[in-house]
Structure 1
Amino acid sequence: MNWNYDSILSDFIAVARLAGVIVPPGALTIELLSAPHAPPPRIPSGKMAVYVFARGNDVLKVGKVGSKSQARYTSQHYNPGSAPSTLAASILAERARHELNDDDATQMGQWMKNNLDRVNFLLDERLGMRVLTLLEAFLQCRLNPRYEGFGSQGAARGQA
């Protein structure tokens, strides 16, 4: 991934300020998990997160979790059958695009860990869900992820 993390952080802090929110120093941190990576074991205490999955410069998914959404944060996206909408299922739906063979498809979680980067934007819980939602929307607009939400919610890549 070729992102300027300092620019992303400072731009989001400016957007939050425009929305009337002050993000105190240290209230937003970034955790970079380069491929191959291990999923985080839990959301740090007192934190919420926006997570990003990418393959090189191709951003695949931006999602958010509150402090009590441990399974969504740690494991669900790696398993195509674990929830109604997961990154693993989205990737499997486009197997050819990702050049997956049958072994890759049966071991989707391991393929994701081996081939995808993950970036976690950790936000102090005391800032609240509205700020978390603002951060998710900002990153979705900024990074233009390939897969967002359920297929019925509209086309990917910036089309409604």
Structure 2
Amino acid sequence: MDFINEFNKVILEVSNVLGKPIDKDKYEIIDRGRPHQAKSLPNKKMAVYTFWYEGRFLKIGKAGPNSNARFLSQHYNPKSARSTLAASILMDENMQDIGITENNVGDWIKNNCHRIDILIDSDLGVFTLELIEAALHYKYEPIYEGFSTQR
């Protein structure tokens, strides 16, 4: 799947239909692949990050310009913050048969999940960040977002 073109299309179509087009020069989509290495959030950037595994998005989240830890490392450590990808995987009964433990979940994510990041100029503001995240949530319905009882 060509995530870069797909995400571009979502961002441009949603922002255009709302009458506030997001300039393509104000964001960059980086396909980190699988396996992947997380990178630091660049200065004056915010981001939407995604983790894809076996045909489904597991997590789509956002990190503001002062949230480098959220962007870089928290999702690989189940005890680092509330609502991390690592913690969600460890709690998922469907994932328990493949040998994932608290000690190896971070490496498992890096080796098995395809990561795609959208770096956004922070001067576009939090509403732009939230719009892109929400549009991707709506389109892809990631497994570990929201409460299952609300679905």
**Residue 142 of structure 1 pairs with residue 135 of structure 2:** no
- Contact 1:56–1:117 (CA under 8 A) maintained in structure 2: no
Secondary structure at the residue paired with 1:106?
coil
Aligned with 1:117 (options 114, 118, 126): 114
Residue ranges of structure 1 left out of the alignment (5+ in a row): none
Amino acid at match of 1:113: K
Equivalences, count: 151
- Closer, same or farther in 2 for the Cα pair 1:4/1:74, shift >3 Å? closer
Q: How many percent of aligned residue pairs carry the same amino acid? A: 36
Distance 1:8 1:75 in 2: 23
Letter in 2 for 1:87: L
Note the C-alpha offset of 1:94: 1.5
AA at the equivalent of 1:137: A
Equivalent residue number for residue 126 of structure 1? 123
Give the Å deviation of 1:33. 1.1
For 1:9-158, list aligned pairs within 5 A.
Answer: 9-40=8-39, 42-97=40-95, 99-101=97-99, 104-149=101-146, 154-155=147-148
User: Which SS does the other structure have where 2:116 is aligned?
Assistant: strand
Offset, 1:58: 1.5
Structure 1 length-normalised TM: 0.85
Structure 1: 4+ residue segments shifted above 4 A: none
Matched to 2:79, the amino acid is: G
Shift of residue 105, structure 1, vs aligned partner: 4.0
TM-score by length of 2: 0.90
TM-aligned CA deviation for residue 82 of structure 1? 0.6
- 2: CA distance, partners of 1:108 / 1:28: 30
* Residue identity in the other structure for 1:155: S
Ranges in structure 2 where 5+ consecutive residues have no aligned partner: none
Partner of 2:70: helix, strand, or coil? helix
Tell me how far apart the structure 2 counterparts of residues 100 and 148 of structure 1 sit (CA, whole Å): 22
Deviation at 1:133, TM superposition (A): 0.2
